[in-house]
Amino acid sequence: MVKISQNVSSDSLFHFIRKIDWLLEILEKRSFQARYVYENTLEADYKAGIAMKCFCDIPLGVIKKHIHSYGKFGIGIKKSFAKKNYVTPVIYFHKNSDTYYRYISSIGKNDIFGSRFSLFPYFKVDSRTIVKDGRKRIERFYDEREWRFIPGEADLIDCTKLTDVEIEQRLKKLNNKLVKERKAFLLPFDFEDITYIFVQFEKDIDSVINVIKKIDATEKQRDRLIAKITTSRQMERDF
């Protein structure tokens, strides 16, 4: 009897977003740009702004829930490209994770935020209880199998003593500055590194093709890139 194994990961990593403009910008710039994102620990004893670009390592067959949470536009990249460029899986922890708390207690707050070699940006809680519309539900981040691109030159922003409003304002200011600089915190790629381009509807395909046709590349490269476009709706039906 042949035993059939079911993969729980993919040869691609996926980055999903909510707006087609963000997708077109990634293609035009041939790069992902990290943005500051707010992260905290279970007890919120440490709160940080971390410059990152996130990807998920999920087979297409189980990605339906993910795109509903993060957006129906996206790009798939080769996992080999990600590894070559230091994109790394996060380290999931929970309230009884001894490794995490021993790490935090051993290095102290100054080294968490003062060193660019800190592991803190790669830690993520495995789940969290979220209240939405008056109802509690458990968000299982572990199911996302997240990988992160953390720019080596990026500072880790200490937000521990800030209110949620102050954190939002500070990170928004930093991200606006990154957008203006355009060349900061980039993860550049070649078109051969792309495995999928996702749009929401059929009508969105033309917008992506128009951008690809203007890109400085050979006709063969552009044709191959166009062939990688598919709709999220089609993917949901097929898988």
Lowest mean pLDDT among 68-72, 128-132, 171-175: 128-132
Q: Does residue 7 belong to any structural domain of this protein?
A: no
Angle separating helix axes 20-29 and 205-214, nearest 10 degrees: 20
- Asked whether residue 161 is assigned to any structural domain, the reply reads yes
Amino acid at the residue 28: E
Q: Is residue 108 part of a domain?
A: yes
pLDDT digits (tens, 9 = 90+) for 224-239: 999 999 998 777 676 6
Element (H, E) at 52: strand 47-56
| 115 domain-assigned | yes
Q: Is residue 180 part of a domain?
A: yes
Q: In a 3-state reduction of DSSP, which class is residue 157? A: strand
Range of the domain at 134: 12-238
pLDDT of 54: 96
Q: What percent of the chain has pLDDT over 90?
A: 53
In a domain, 6, yes or no: no
166-169 long-range contacts (CB < 8 A, ≥24 apart) are 167/38, 167/47, 167/49, 168/38
Residue 2 maps to a domain: no
Domain total for the chain? 1
